[in-house]
């Protein structure tokens, strides 16, 4: 285990305790002391996020697929929910943050991450194969949940505008959880072969070499470190959300930029793991990581945020604007075409990367 897996969670605990005792978290991010505080917070938080994902990956490696990928995606989704809730509760003006973040995650994953993995894999290995049944299972649930949570609110009439009424929000959250739970049952119990990864051939010399290395930490110890790291990320998220919101407001950035930053923060470590897998000609693992994180984002983030919004009587805007709706539809069409054959090359990867570039550009220049 790298030292950072222990050092950063410990540093996060010390930093959070010190900031709470000294009241540093209330300093304006626009002052010198506040800017220094926010800079150190970003470094500590990024390190803790990476440590969290490392521990989740270690557990994933121990328990095998598809359970391992599930552990990793759930850990990343919990971090995302913590960031969204911390910013929503930090003050007014964040009623659409959950929508912007979930939409950003879908486009980043289905275009940016998937496109980069396919492009890198295609450049290095010419063509790569994956299991069509698994990819289509992911995609079918993602399309359904995205339409129900991000597009349907624009067309309901009980409450005009891009919002659900309380009863509608409860219903959509319930069916979202049910559909995600059924997908997990398919993935982990009934049809695990749809998402399986072929085992690498045994290497006697490698086994012999591993016998001289220090044994890895126990699964129990790694699990404890994962829980501690997650708790620290959640505690640091509130302070990060307040500072980042103030900086973006002062800079006059579009509102959707907040959702993009949150999505990039939580997806960065997992994205690195997916790209490494594609480089090693393990595209199936890349798709499990990428599409699993996108699905978990909709299946868990929307119900969690909806529950908090209903309990605290907070406004929750979910319906997308026309431009975002078009980008989402384009993303789904391109994904259906990409995942329909079981083989990829550089062209589908480039197509997805172009859609991702358009999304980023239009976020800053709406």
Q: Tell me the per-residue pLDDT of 52-75, one tens digit each, with 9 for 90 and over.
A: 777 877 777 777 656 666 776 677
Report whether pLDDT(205) > 50: no
> What percent of the chain has a predicted confidence (pLDDT) above 70?
84
How far is residue 12's CA from residue 34's CA, in Å, rounded to a whole number? 17
Cβ-based burial of 290 (10 A; exposed 0-12, middle 13-18, buried ≥19)? buried
Report whether pLDDT(159) > 60: yes
Query: Which neighbouring-strand residues pair with 343?
Result: 129
Cβ-based burial of 200 (10 A; exposed 0-12, middle 13-18, buried ≥19)? exposed
Least confident of 49-63, 84-98, 221-235: 84-98
Report whether pLDDT(212) > 50: no
25 — pLDDT class (breaks 50, 70, 90): low
Instruction: Please name the residue that has the structure tokens 């505080």.
Output: 37
Angle at 177 between CA 341 and CA 115, to 5 degrees: 30
Domains identified in the chain and CATH numbers: 4-198+217-364 (1.20.1420.30)
191 — pLDDT class (breaks 50, 70, 90): confident
How far is residue 202's CA from residue 37's CA, in Å, rounded to a whole number? 49
Q: Is 344 helix (H, G, I), strand (E, B) or coil?
A: strand
Report whether pLDDT(201) > 50: no
How far is residue 293's CA from residue 114's CA, in Å, rounded to a whole number? 12
Considering the chain, what is the average pLDDT of its residues? 81
Q: Give the pLDDT of residue 256.
A: 81
CB distance 83 to 262 below 8 Å: yes
Instruction: Please name the residue that has the structure tokens 């085992």.
Output: 199
How far is residue 207's CA from residue 294's CA, in Å, rounded to a whole number? 36
Taking only the tens place, the pLDDT of each residue in 268-314 is: 767 877 888 888 888 888 888 888 878 888 888 889 889 988 888 88
């Amino acid at each position: 285990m790298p030292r950072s897996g222990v050092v950063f969670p410990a540093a996060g605990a010390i930093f959070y305790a010190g900031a709470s005792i000294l009241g540093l978290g209330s300093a304006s991010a626009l002052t010198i002391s506040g800017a220094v505080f926010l800079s150190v917070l970003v470094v500590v938080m990024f390190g803790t996020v990476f440590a969290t994902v490392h521990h989740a990956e270690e557990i994933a490696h121990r328990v095998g697929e598809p359970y391992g990928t599930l552990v990793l995606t759930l850990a990343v989704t919990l971090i995302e929910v913590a960031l969204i809730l911390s910013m929503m509760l930090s003050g007014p003006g964040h009623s659409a943050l959950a929508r912007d973040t979930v939409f950003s995650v879908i486009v980043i994953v289905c275009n940016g991450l998937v496109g980069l993995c396919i492009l890198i894999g295609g450049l290095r290995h010419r063509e790569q194969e994956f299991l069509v049944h698994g990819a289509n299972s992911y995609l079918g649930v993602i399309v359904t949940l995205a339409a129900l949570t991000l597009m349907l609110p624009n067309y309901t009439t009980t409450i005009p505008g891009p919002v659900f009424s309380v009863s509608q929000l409860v219903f959509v959250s319930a069916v979202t959880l049910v559909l995600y739970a059924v997908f997990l049952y398919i993935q982990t119990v009934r049809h695990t072969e749809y998402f399986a990864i072929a085992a690498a051939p045994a290497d006697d010399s490698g086994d012999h070499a591993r016998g001289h290395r220090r044994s890895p930490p126990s699964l129990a110890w790694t699990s404890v470190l994962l829980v501690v790291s997650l708790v620290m990320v959640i505690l640091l998220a509130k302070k990060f959300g307040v500072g980042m919101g103030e900086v973006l407001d002062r800079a006059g950035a579009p509102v959707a930029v907040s959702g993009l930053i949150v999505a990039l923060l939580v997806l960065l470590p997992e994205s690195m793991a997916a790209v490494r897998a594609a480089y090693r000609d393990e595209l199936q693992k890349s798709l499990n990581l990428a599409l699993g994180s996108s699905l978990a984002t909709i299946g868990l983030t929307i119900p969690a945020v909806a529950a908090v919004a209903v309990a605290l009587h907070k406004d929750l805007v979910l319906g997308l604007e026309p431009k975002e709706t078009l980008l989402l539809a384009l993303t789904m069409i391109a994904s259906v075409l990409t995942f329909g054959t079981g083989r990829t090359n550089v062209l589908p990867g480039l197509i997805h990367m172009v859609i991702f570039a358009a999304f980023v550009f239009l976020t800053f220049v709406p």
